[in-house]
Amino acid sequence: MRARLLTPWLALLAASPAPAGPYSPAAQQLGSTAMHRSDPRFTAWANRAPAYAAGSDASPAWQDPTKSLGPATDDPTHVASLGSGGSITLSFPGFIHDGPGPDFAIFENSFSDTFLELAYVEVSCDGVHFTRFPNFSLTPNPVGPFGSIDPSDVQGLAGKFRQAFGEPFDLADLGLDQVSHVRLIDVIGDGRSRDSASRPIYDPFPVSGSAGFDLDAIGVIHLQSWQTLTVDQLDGTGVNATAFAHLPDGRFLLGAQGQLHIQAAWGQADHLPIASGDAAFDPAFIAVADANRALLGGGGSFGGATGLYLFDPSPPAPALPAAPLASLPNFCGSWWHSPASGRSGWIVGGIQSATGQHGLSFLTPSGRLLGPLVARLSTYSAAVAADSAGQVFAAQYELPGSPAQAAAEWVRRFSPAQIDAAIVALESGQTGLSGSQGTPVFQFDSASSLAVDAQGRLWASGFKTPSLQVFDPTTGASRRLQPDALPPDFDPLYQVQTFSRRGEAYVAFLASDLSGTPGSPLRHGLAPLSAFDVPETFASWQAFHFGPAASHQENNSQADPDGDGSPNLLEYAFHTPPLVPGPSPLVPGLSRGQATLSFCRHPLRTDLSYTVEASDHLAGPWITIAESARGQAFAPLALAAPAIQETALPPVVAVTLRDSSPPSSSHFLRLRLRLLP
Average pLDDT per consecutive 10 residues, the chain (677 residues; last block may be shorter): 30 48 96 96 95 92 93 92 96 96 97 96 96 97 92 97 97 97 96 97 88 95 95 79 95 92 94 87 92 92 73 90 89 96 95 86 90 92 96 93 89 97 93 93 95 97 93 90 77 94 95 86 94 88 76 75 93 93 92 88 92 89 92 83 84 88 76 93
Maximum CA extent, the chain: 89
Query: Are 367 and 391 within 8 A, CB to CB?
Result: no
CA distance 151 to 110: 12
* SS3 assignment, position 343: coil
Task: For 626, list phi and psi in degrees, rounded to 5.
Answer: -160, 150
Q: Are 480 and 468 a contacting pair, CB within 8 Å?
A: yes
What gap in Å lies between CA 606 and CA 541, rounded to an integer? Answer: 12
Where b means 16+ CB within 10 Å and e means fewer, 625-651 reads: bbbbeebeebebeeeebbebeeeeeee
Task: From residue 396, give the alpha-carbon distance in Å to each of 229, 399, 460, 544.
Answer: 31, 10, 12, 21
* pLDDT for position 303: 53
- pLDDT of the residue at 64: 93
370 contact partners, CB below 8 Å, separation of at least 6: 361, 362, 363, 364, 423, 426, 427
- Name the 3-class secondary structure at 61: helix
CB-CB neighbours of 488 under 10 Å: 5
Q: How far is the C-alpha of 378 from the C-alpha of 404, rounded, in Å?
A: 8
Among 299, 303, 247, smallest CA distance to 272 is for 247
664 C-beta neighbours (distance < 10 Å), count: 6
Helix/strand/coil (H/E/C) assignment for every residue in 487-506: CCCCCEEEEEEEEEECCEEE
Q: Give the 3-state secondary structure of 107-119.
A: EECCCCCCCCCCE
Rg of the Cα atoms in the chain: 29
φ, ψ for residue 235 (rounded to 5)?
A: -100, 0
* Tens digits of residue pLDDT in 475-522: 888 999 988 767 777 788 999 999 999 999 999 999 998 888 888 899
End-to-end Cα spacing for the chain:
46
Cα 261 to the chain's mean position, in Å?
Answer: 27
- Counting DSSP H helices and E strands in the chain, the numbers are 5, 48
113 with 16: CB under 8 angstroms? Answer: yes
For 65, 211, 216, 264, 349, the CA distances from 72, given in Å and listed in that order, are 14, 19, 6, 38, 49
Quick: pLDDT tens for 116-169.
Answer: 999 999 999 999 999 999 999 999 999 998 889 999 999 999 999 999 999 999
**pLDDT single digits (tens) 333-373:** 999 999 999 999 999 999 887 788 899 999 999 888 888 99
The sign of the CA dihedral 555, 559, 561, 566 is: positive
CA 310 to chain centre: 32
pTM: 0.84
CB of 487 closer than 8 Å to CB of 230:
no
pLDDT in the model for residue 543: 81
pLDDT computed for residue 277 by the predictor: 82
Residue 473 CB-density burial (10 A; 0-12 exposed, 13-18 middle, 19+ buried): middle
Pairing of strands 652-658, 643-649: antiparallel
305 half-sphere exposure, CB direction, 13 A CA radius: 5
What's residue 18's pLDDT?
59
Length of the chain: 677
pLDDT of residue 1: 35
Question: In 3D, which of 236, 226, 296 has the Cα closest to residue 261?
Answer: 296
240 residue type, one letter: N
The rounded distance, in Å, linking the Cα atoms of 350 and 331 is 5
CA 69 to CA 91: how far, in whole Å? 9
**How far is residue 348 CA from its own chain's centroid?**
29
For residue 22, is the peptide bond before it cis, meaning its omega torsion is within 30 degrees of 0?
Answer: no
In sequence order, the 6+-apart residues with CB closer than 8 A to the CB of 296 are: 243, 255, 260, 279, 281, 283, 285, 286, 308, 309, 311, 320
* Domains of the chain, earliest start first: 6-224 (2.60.120.260), 227-532 (2.120.10.30), 540-675 (2.60.40)
Angle at 438 between CA 376 and CA 333, to 5 degrees: 60
- Please compute, for residue 571, the number of CA atoms within 13 A of its CA located in the half-sphere on the CB side: 26
